[in-house]
Amino acid sequence: MNKLITAQEAAKKIKDNSTLMVGGFLSCGTPHIILDAISKENIKNLTLISNDTSVPNKDKSKLIENGLVKKVITTHIGTNPITGQKMQSGELEVEFYPMGTLVEKIHAKGSGLGGVLTPTGVGTILEEGKKIVEIKGKKFIFEEPLGADVAVIYGTTVDKYGNVKYEGTTRNFNTSMATAADMVIVQAEKFVDEINPDEVVIPSIFIDYIVKEEEN
């Protein structure tokens, strides 16, 4: 199966009312080319799951600025005043989680787990409306798994089969998100025929489509 598509073709796979996961920490390991293409589409009511909403006029922020997103599930928005303004005006719903909790919710979905127990947030507003579980005298918040219709992620090197390799901190959220969505599209900084199996971080079975940076 040929998994190669253009960024524009990738963008057209995102439908109204979809839940979209986006890898990256700010712009590190973020599939900016795919996000630029998505931002130009007339898509409505997206739920965006990402570590952050970047900074104004870049990658993830463009989706919000162009009115594509109705809700963000994230860890912080402090680097983007536009997100904050839209939240305060009621244009955008923002749901916050501690970073480790968000990653583990995504990991739980990808691993087929029933949820996550975390002590983070016990006794704070984070526990409101959630089940509290006590184990050996210690309280935990039960967090449900978090998945998406589509995940768009980044890969340092991707081969023609869809195997993905990373360098440095670029892997961040990308590895967990690749396992937790119905469709996964990876942006390849480098595209090769084959990656050494010992260097594969995300196996090809998780990748549905590949977008090559140099062709966009």
| Domains defined for the chain, CATH in brackets | 7-113+146-215 (3.40.1080.10)
Q: What is the mean pLDDT of the chain?
A: 96
Judge contact between 74 and 95, C-beta under 8 A: yes
Distance CA 196, CA 6 (A): 25
Distance CA 43, CA 10 (A): 13
This model's pTM is above 0.75: yes
Backbone angles phi, psi at 51, to 5 degrees: -60, -35
Q: Express each pLDDT in 127-178 by its tens digit.
A: 999 999 999 999 999 999 999 999 999 999 999 999 999 999 999 999 999 9
Distance CA 91, CA 201 (A): 38
At 216, is the pLDDT very low, low, confident or very high (cuts 50, 70, 90)?
A: low
Judge contact between 10 and 36, C-beta under 8 A: no
Task: Give the model's pLDDT for residue 214.
Answer: 78
**What tokens does 182 get?**
């119905």
Q: Express each pLDDT in 27-66 by its tens digit.
A: 999 999 999 999 999 999 999 999 999 999 999 999 999 9
Pairing of strands 148-159, 164-165: antiparallel
* 98-121 mean pLDDT: 97
* Tally of CB atoms within 10 A around 112: 8
Task: Give the model's pLDDT for residue 1.
Answer: 78
Backbone angles phi, psi at 127, to 5 degrees: -90, -5
Backbone angles phi, psi at 119, to 5 degrees: -80, -15
Backbone CA torsion sign across 178, 184, 189, 194: positive
Q: In a 3-state reduction of DSSP, which class is residue 60?
A: helix
**What tokens does 189 get?**
């900084």
Rg of the chain's alpha carbons, rounded to an integer? 17
Return the bridge partners of 49, or none.
21, 73
